[in-house]
Amino acid sequence: MKPIKIALFANDIALATDKEILRLVNFPGPKLMKILSIALIFIFFLFKNFKSNSINLSKFSLLFTYLLVYDCLSAMIRKTIFSLAASIIKFIFICLFFLNAYAETVNRKYEPNEKGILALMYHRFEENKYPSTNIKIDVFQKHLNIIKENNISFLNPKNFEFEINKVSEEKKILLTIDDAFSSFYLNAWPILKKDKIPFILFVSTEAVGKNGYMSWDEIIEISKEDLVFIGNHSHSHEYLVKYKFEEFEEDILKSIELFEKNLGYNSKFFSYPFGEYSLEQKKYISNNFDYAFGQHSGVIDLNKDKYELPRFPINEKYGDIERFEFLINLLPIQYKNIIPEEKFLLNVNNPPELVIEFFNDQPNIDKINCFSNEGGEWKNSQLKYKKNKIEVIFKEKFLPRRGRINCSMQDKDGWRWFGSQFTLN
């Protein structure tokens, strides 16, 4: 659970505790009993014949005084006890909050048994005039068969929070589909439903119901299945990184509004259109979603940024069987930090000064090789190895629209991989 969620949860508990204390202290039942007791004493002394009225009044006054004193003292004792209990509860939740926040920011470490979660990204199915985003349905079926033949499990998105916050000692595949094209509903959905294969369908709300896209009725229909999760893919699916922040915010809020109107909720999953985002946009997404996916290749592990999650794009060019068999067995290259965090490049910071920081006890750092498309063509990147860091020396600028770097390494467990993407102004 994220620190901000723990803080909100602790605050809710504290407020609920305070309300409960007030309810107990001011509960009308005991007060009613006290009033009845006083009334009974008064009636008793009023109708009973005593030898002396002054004595009667004295007895009544004395009992009445005792009752009031007891009432005040008991109320004070109750308030003190409950107030102390509330303080203790608040203190415990505050401690839990800080311990969790500390654990997330400090106790990250290299996990040698981490196999990772490999996310695959598809778009169109059997729309052969769009080869850059299409996959032939018979090839898609072969992909699913290869995953099963390799005894790799499909990850149900409902378990994603649990799986991503622990060491994945068994490789898992997360299937994602972007844009909600009609060809997915007609060609791929029947296969996934029949084989009970879970997935996330990322929807851009403006396109819903238009020619070539699924309707809200179709999206609602498949969302009722336990294996299906609907993810948010913005409203317009434009090049949002070019937007002014106010326009970007308006676009995301519109998508959230339409999700809540048609599905009754906003998704906890988001995918950046074209995998593009600025640091400011990423921070905004982190305040409205639990996870966000890009379009840079790599394997998800415990230490990956939850708002820069990698996926392997699959299409006709990059979906051939040989490549697919290679990539589904890839392992993550873990790292502690990557600088710069800003992935949106201007002329002044293109090319970026890229530094990858690894964990102190992480082996084989010097075996990592990287390739980048600086200057418009893929070439071997120049690397400087410095203890637990690698400095990447780019000799040329990245050309519009996107710059990419992919790094790989082979060790005793197999091939490891991670990638990063930059967007240019």
Contact 184, 201 (CB under 8 A): yes
Give the up-direction half-sphere exposure of residue 171: CA atoms within 13 A in the CB hemisphere.
19
Query: What pLDDT score does 379 carry?
Result: 94
**CA atoms of 343 and 282, how far apart (whole Å):** 10
Query: What pLDDT score does 76 carry?
Result: 59
Query: What pLDDT score does 425 carry?
Result: 81
Domain 333-425: which CATH number of 2.60.40.420, 2.60.40.1220, 2.60.40.1930, 3.40.50.300: 2.60.40.1220
Give the up-direction half-sphere exposure of residue 106: CA atoms within 13 A in the CB hemisphere.
6
Beta-sheet pairing, 414-424 with 402-411: antiparallel
**CA atoms of 376 and 320, how far apart (whole Å):** 24
425 Cβ neighbours under 8 A, 6+ residues apart: 242, 344, 345, 346, 347
**CA atoms of 190 and 5, how far apart (whole Å):** 37
408 Cβ neighbours under 8 A, 6+ residues apart: 333, 368, 369, 370, 415, 416, 417
Query: What pLDDT score does 170 carry?
Result: 96
- Residue type, position 365, single letter: I
**CA atoms of 29 and 417, how far apart (whole Å):** 67
Q: What tokens does 186 get?
A: 């007609």
**CA atoms of 291 and 94, how far apart (whole Å):** 25
Where does 107-198 have alpha helices with state H?
A: 137-149, 160-164, 182-183, 189-195
Q: What tokens does 58 get?
A: 């004295």
Beta-sheet pairing, 117-122 with 124-125: unpaired
What 8-state DSSP symbol labels residue 188?
A: I
Dump the DSSP string for 347-358. Answer: GGGSS--EEEE-
Mean pLDDT, the chain cut into blocks of 10 residues (425 residues total): 48 46 42 50 48 47 50 56 58 49 58 97 97 97 97 97 96 98 98 98 98 98 97 98 97 98 98 97 98 97 97 94 96 97 95 96 95 95 94 94 96 96 93
3-class DSSP state for residue 308? coil
**CA atoms of 264 and 180, how far apart (whole Å):** 18
Least Cα distance to 420 among 335, 363, 348 occurs for: 335
Query: What pLDDT score does 108 carry?
Result: 79
Contact 79, 71 (CB under 8 A): no
Domain spans of the chain, in order of start: 3-106, 111-330, 333-425
Domain 111-330: which CATH number of 3.90.470.20, 3.20.20.370, 3.30.750.24, 3.90.1150.10: 3.20.20.370
